[in-house]
C-alpha cells in the first residue's frame, strides 16, 4: 500500500473543533438528561445509543462508552469529526427547545473513540468461517463498514479499489480541519483489526477496467458496490481549459495526499454553493491565500451548503458574490479573471455583467454519478446515475448490493456507514439462505 507523503499540504491545518480533555468530557456528559426515546439517537443515521455512551463517560467507563458507539458505527471516530452534528444529533438535542446549549455529542463521541484508538481497545472478532466470500468495489466508508460487518459473520471479503491509498472520501476528500488523511488511515487500520479483510488496490472494476463485473461475480458469492461519485462537473463556458482552472474535488485530493504550490496565488475563486464549495474556500484561506471569494448563482439564504459551515467561512474573512454566474474564464495561458453575469431571484440574467480578478479557480458545482458503470449488468437498475436499491441495499440482481454515494447521490459519511452495514446484514441473510460451502 502506498505511504502518504510527509509533506502533504493538509498538514498545516489544525482541528477546527479541539478535543475535550477528561475533565471537560465528564462535565459535559453530566449535563445530559439521558432521554428515553432520545431525539438525538433518532437523528443519527446509524442510531448510536447516544444517552448510553454519554452516561458511561459520566461514570468513567470510557472503554464501554466507545464499545457502544462502535457497535452501531465502526467508523465512529471519523464521524465524530466530520458529521454535521449541528443538523443531526446536536441539532435534535432537547436542550435546543429549552434555550440551553445542546449537549456536544460529537465532541463526546470523539473523546470516547480517541481513547479506544489510543489504548488499542478492540471489541470485535471475526466469526466462524462461513465458506462464503463477498467482493466489494470501492474502499470508502460504505465498503469498510460492510466488510467489517461481514467479517463478524465469518464471511471472507475482498475490497477492490482503483487507487493505491484506501479510505475513500475520508482519506481523499474530507476537509483537513475536520479529518486529515493520516487519521483516516489510522481508522482504516482499526477497522482492519478484526482480521481477514483483503484488498486488491490499483484494480479498477467495470467496463474497460482490469476486472470485469462478470469476473468479479465469478470470484464471489455476493457483490457490494460502494464506489462513490465520479469526477468534478464542469461549466460549459469559454476558458475552461486555461491553467489555474480546476475541479474542486480534484484539487482537494491533491492537497490532502500530496503537496500543492500556491505561492503565486493572491486571489482565488470557488464557484458553487454547496458543502464542497465551502470546504474549498476555507481550505484555500487556510493555505495562506490572501483573498478568497465564493461565486454562487443563488442567494446566501438559499445556498445548499450548511449555514454553520458558511458562518465559519465568513469569520475567516471569505467573501461571496451572490447571484452571480460565470460566463467565461479569461486570460492568456493562465486564468486572470472571470467574466460574470448578475442573476435575479429566478436565477435568470439581469443584463448586468462584471469581472472578478483571480489567479486560481476551483469548480465545486457537483460530481458525476457512476451508475453508468453498471448499466449493462442485468438486474441492476440505474436512475439518474444512481444505483437503485431497496431499504437494505439489495439491487434487482440476486446477490448484488450497493450503498454510499453511488446510491444516495452524495450524502454524509455516516449515511454511507449505515448503508454499508445494512447491506452487509442483508448479504449475511442471503448467504446463509444459500447454504453449503
How is residue 433 written as a grid cell?
439462505
> Domain for residue 115, yes or no?
yes
What's the mean pLDDT when you consider all of the chain? 96
Same domain, 112 and 163: no
* Domain-located, residue 178: yes
Distance of CA 59 to the CA centre of its chain: 32
Q: Identify whether 224 is part of a domain.
A: yes
Q: Which domain holds residue 145?
A: 133-228+370-434
19 and 114 fall within a common domain: yes
Would residue 39 count as lying in a domain? yes
Q: What is the pLDDT of residue 437?
A: 46
Residue 8 lies in a domain: no
Q: Are residues 248 and 359 in the same domain?
A: yes
- Give the HSE-up count for residue 321: Cα atoms under 13 Å, Cβ half-sphere: 22
The domain boundary, picked from 343, 367, 391, lies at: 367
Residues 258, 349, single domain; the answer is: yes
Cell numbers describing residue 417: 456507514
pLDDT tens-digit readout, 7-41: 899 999 998 888 999 999 999 999 999 999 999 99
The pTM for the full model equals 0.96
Residue 336 has pLDDT above 50, yes or no: yes
Torsion of CA 368, 369, 372, 375, to 10 degrees: -170
Q: What pLDDT score does 110 carry?
A: 98
From 73, 97, 119, give the residue that closes a domain.
Answer: 119
5 found inside a domain: no
Mean pLDDT of 429-433: 96
- List, for residues 394-416, the tens digit of each pLDDT value: 999 999 999 999 999 999 999 99
The pLDDT value recorded for residue 1 is 57
- Asked whether residue 113 carries a pLDDT value surpassing 70, the answer given is yes
pLDDT at 203 over 50: yes
- pLDDT confidence of 205, banded at 50, 70, 90? very high
What does the alpha-carbon distance between residue 354 and residue 361 come to, in Å, rounded to a whole number? 16
Q: Is residue 290 part of a domain?
A: yes
C-alpha cell at 193: 483489526
What pLDDT sits at residue 435? 73
Number of domains in the chain: 3
Taking every pair of Cα atoms in the chain, the longest distance, rounded to a whole number of angstroms, is 71
- Grid-cell match 480546476, residue found: 246
Whether 124 is in a domain gets the answer no
Q: What is the pLDDT of residue 436?
A: 55
Q: pLDDT, tens digit, for every residue of 37-62? A: 999 999 999 999 999 999 999 999 99
Tens digit of each residue's pLDDT (9 = 90 or more) over 289-334: 999 999 999 999 999 999 999 999 999 999 999 999 999 999 999 9
**198 and 263, same domain (yes or no):** no
- CATH for 317: 3.50.50.60
pLDDT at 2: 64
- 355 and 346 Cβ atoms separated by less than 8 Å: no
C-alpha pair distances (Å), 81 with each of 15, 16, 71, 272, 368: 9, 9, 18, 24, 26
Tell me, what's the pLDDT at 379? 97
Q: What percent of the chain has pLDDT over 70?
A: 99
The model's confidence at residue 4, banded by pLDDT at 50, 70 and 90, is: confident
Q: What is the pLDDT of residue 92?
A: 98
**Domain end: 119, 144, 163, which one?**
119
The arithmetic mean of pLDDT across residues 90-114, rounded, is 97
271 in the same domain as 332:
yes
Amino acid at each position: 500500500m502506498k505511504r502518504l507523503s510527509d509533506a502533504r499540504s493538509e498538514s498545516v491545518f489544525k482541528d477546527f473543533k479541539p478535543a475535550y480533555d477528561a475533565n471537560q468530557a465528564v462535565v459535559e456528559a453530566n449535563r445530559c438528561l439521558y432521554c428515553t426515546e432520545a431525539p438525538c439517537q433518532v437523528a443519527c443515521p446509524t442510531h448510536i445509543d447516544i444517552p448510553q455512551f454519554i452516561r458511561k463517560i459520566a461514570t468513567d467507563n470510557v472503554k464501554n462508552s466507545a464499545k457502544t458507539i462502535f457497535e452501531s458505527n465502526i467508523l465512529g471516530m471519523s464521524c465524530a469529526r466530520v458529521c454535521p452534528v449541528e443538523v443531526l444529533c446536536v441539532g435534535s438535542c432537547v436542550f435546543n427547545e429549552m434555550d440551553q446549549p445542546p449537549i456536544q455529542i460529537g465532541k463526546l463521541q470523539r473523546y470516547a473513540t480517541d481513547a479506544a484508538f489510543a489504548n488499542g481497545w478492540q471489541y470485535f472478532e471475526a466469526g466462524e468461517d462461513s465458506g462464503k466470500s463477498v467482493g466489494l468495489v470501492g474502499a470508502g466508508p460504505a465498503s469498510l463498514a460492510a466488510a467489517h460487518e461481514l467479517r463478524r459473520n465469518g464471511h471472507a471479503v475482498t475490497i477492490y479499489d482503483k487507487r493505491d491509498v484506501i479510505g475513500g472520501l475520508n482519506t481523499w476528500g474530507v476537509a483537513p480541519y475536520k479529518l486529515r488523511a493520516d487519521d483516516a488511515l489510522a481508522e482504516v487500520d482499526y477497522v482492519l483489526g478484526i482480521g481477514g479483510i483483503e484488498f486488491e488496490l490499483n484494480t479498477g472494476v467495470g467496463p474497460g477496467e482490469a476486472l470485469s463485473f462478470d469476473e468479479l461475480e465469478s470470484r464471489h458469492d455476493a457483490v457490494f458496490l460502494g464506489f462513490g461519485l465520479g469526477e468534478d462537473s464542469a461549466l460549459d463556458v469559454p476558458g475552461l481549459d486555461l491553467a489555474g482552472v480546476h475541479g474542486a474535488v480534484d484539487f482537494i485530493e491533491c492537497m490532502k495526499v500530496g503537496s500543492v504550490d500556491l505561492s503565486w496565488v493572491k486571489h482565488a475563486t470557488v464557484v458553487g454553493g454547496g458543502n464542497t464549495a465551502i470546504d474549498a474556500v476555507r481550505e484555500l484561506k487556510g493555505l495562506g491565500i490572501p483573498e478568497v471569494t465564493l461565486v454562487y448563482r443563488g442567494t446566501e439564504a438559499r445556498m445548499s451548503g450548511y449555514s454553520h459551515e458558511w458562518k465559519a467561512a465568513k469569520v475567516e474573512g471569505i467573501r461571496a458574490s451572490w447571484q452571480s454566474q460565470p460566463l467565461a474564464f479569461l486570460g492568456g495561458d493562465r486564468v486572470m479573471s472571470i467574466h460574470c453575469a448578475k442573476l435575479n431571484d429566478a436565477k435568470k440574467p439581469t443584463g448586468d455583467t462584471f469581472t472578478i480578478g483571480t489567479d486560481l479557480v476551483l469548480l465545486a458545482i457537483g460530481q458525476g454519478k457512476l451508475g453508468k458503470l453498471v448499466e449493462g449488468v442485468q438486474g441492476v437498475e440505474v436512475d439518474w446515475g444512481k444505483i437503485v436499491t431497496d431499504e437494505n441495499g439489495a439491487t434487482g440482481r440476486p446477490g448484488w448490493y450497493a450503498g454510499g454515494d453511488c446510491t444516495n447521490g452524495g450524502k454524509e459519511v455516516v449515511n454511507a456507514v449505515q448503508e454499508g452495514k445494512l447491506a452487509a446484514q442483508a448479504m449475511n441473510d442471503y448467504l446463509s439462505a444459500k447454504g453449503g460451502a
